[in-house]
Copies of this chain bind each other. A is one copy, B any other.
Amino acid sequence: MTIYDIAKEAGVSASSVSRVINNKTGVNPEVRKKVQKLLKKYHYTPDAAARGLVSQSSRIIGILIADIRNIHHTDGAYYIERKLAALNYCCVILNTGDDDESRAQAISILEQRRVEGAVLIGSSFQTESVAQAIKRHLNNVPIVMINAFLDAPNIYGVLSDELHGVEACVNLLAEKGRKSLAFVRDCHTPSCELKVEGFRRGIRLLGQTEPWIYDSHGTTAADGKRATLEVLKDHPDVDGIIYSVDLIATGGIRALYDLGIAIPDQVSVIGVDNSIYGEICIPTLTSLDNKTFDSSIAACRILIDCLENRTTTRQMILPSAIVVRESTP
């Protein structure tokens, strides 16, 4: 069903139908009524692609996420999709995985679809290869990165100050009298590096001779459990463990529970993300809120500002905040 079909049945030209569809003035009321009736009768819906072709605007926004199953990123995607849908944009969500090639390919796909903007969620997009792909394929539409930043005229970034956040976690534990702290990291993204650096700084100021840093080699609870057992084996005197994400922290809690080590009496535990995982485990988990949701709101605002030709903030850093729960004294 095209506007020509409608036009023919109404006995008018396609332009008149178009005018009715787009609520333009200068149409005989009778014609308008007749056309509207036919539009309704056939449940006519304009073809977005054809419209986009002539108007040179796709009203498509790309959302790139390493893995949509990661709830830490999904919250943001949800907010952004809802907000943009209300403005008549359609969101194409692509899971890119963690290799540079598929990230670049995803960016190329966004170009094919002629997206009017994109949001890249997660620090894993902060790589030279992504920067190149954006320069090649998406250099004239606004790109907003959440928890990452790349330097290009059309790239905007909303970051969370996880470095000082983790440093504050160390300080919190120190104030409570903890003396031997370990950090378990789950990956090697720029964001995770910042967390590690925050831990190092905190430890340095604290005077602990050496920062105990472990790698869980994965982001599941089981990975966190395994890494925790390693920590305990090497350092039976550890009295505080900070994990780079909540999920591996829950594995840590389980490991301690199995060994009969009391939380927080013997060992304090802190996670990062302030996710639902931290709320449902027992004891509930103290966590560094890195403001994903606020970041998404800010990112969305920046994107909309760009789409509507308003000047906006190029880069912003949101302070993180510790949410204290039962796993710390």
In the complex, the answer to whether A45 meets B279 with C-beta atoms within 8 Å is no
Residues in B whose Cβ lies below 8 Å from that of A27: none
What is the total number of copies of this protein in its complex?
A: 2
A194 within 8 A of B: no
A169 within 8 A of B: no
A255-286 interface code vs B (CB 8 A; 1 in, 0 out):
00100000000000000000011011110000
In the complex, the answer to whether A78 meets B68 with C-beta atoms within 8 Å is yes
In the complex, the answer to whether B53 meets A111 with C-beta atoms within 8 Å is no
Smallest CB separation, A290 vs chain B (Å): 17
**Minimum CB distance partner of A63 in chain B:** B93
In the complex, the answer to whether B221 meets A280 with C-beta atoms within 8 Å is yes
Q: Looking at A46, A93, A114, which has the most chain B CB atoms within 10 Å of its CB?
A: A93
Residues in B whose Cβ lies below 8 Å from that of A90: 92, 109, 113
Q: Which of B78, B113, B137, B281 contacts A43 (CB 8 A)?
A: B137
In the complex, the answer to whether A47 meets B112 with C-beta atoms within 8 Å is yes
A181 within 8 A of B: no
Q: Which of B49, B82, B254 contacts A114 (CB 8 A)?
A: B49
A81 within 8 A of B: yes
Asked if A48 meets B280 with Cβ closer than 8 Å, knowing A78-B69, A93-B91, A94-B81, the reply is: no
In the complex, the answer to whether B45 meets A111 with C-beta atoms within 8 Å is yes
A130 within 8 A of B: no
A12 within 8 A of B: no
Residues in B whose Cβ lies below 8 Å from that of A111: 45
**Minimum CB distance partner of A139 in chain B:** B43
A108 within 8 A of B: yes
**Minimum CB distance partner of A43 in chain B:** B136
A121 within 8 A of B: no
How far, in angstroms, from A50 to B113 measured CA to CA in the complex? 10
In the complex, the answer to whether B81 meets A48 with C-beta atoms within 8 Å is no
A89-104 interface code vs B (CB 8 A; 1 in, 0 out):
0111111000000000
How far, in angstroms, from A282 to B254 measured CA to CA in the complex? 8
Residues in B whose Cβ lies below 8 Å from that of A67: 78
Residues in B whose Cβ lies below 8 Å from that of A276: 221, 247, 277
A315 within 8 A of B: no
**Minimum CB distance partner of A88 in chain B:** B109
**Contacts A/B (CB < 8 Å), 10 sampled:** A48-B113, A48-B114, A82-B95, A93-B93, A221-B280, A247-B276, A254-B280, A254-B282, A276-B277, A280-B280
In order of increasing CB-CB distance, the 9 nearest A-B pairs are: A49-B49, A250-B280, A48-B112, A43-B136, A93-B93, A45-B111, A68-B78, A49-B52, A69-B78
